Amino acid sequence: MSDPHDELAGTEQPFVSHLVELRDRLVRALIAVGVVFGVLCLWPGPAGLYDLLAAPLVANLPKGTTLIATNVISPFIVPLKITMMAAFLVALPVVLYQV
What whole-number percentage of the chain has pLDDT above 90? 73
pLDDT above 60 (res 1): no
- Confidence bin at 61 (pLDDT 50/70/90): very high
Mean pLDDT of the chain: 90
d(C-alpha 88, C-alpha 24), whole Å: 18
Instruction: Write the pLDDT tens digit of every residue in 66-99.
Output: 889 999 999 999 999 999 999 999 999 999 999 8
pLDDT of amino acid 53: 92
pLDDT of amino acid 44: 87
- Confidence bin at 42 (pLDDT 50/70/90): very high
Q: Where do the structural domains in the chain lie, given as residue ranges? A: 15-98
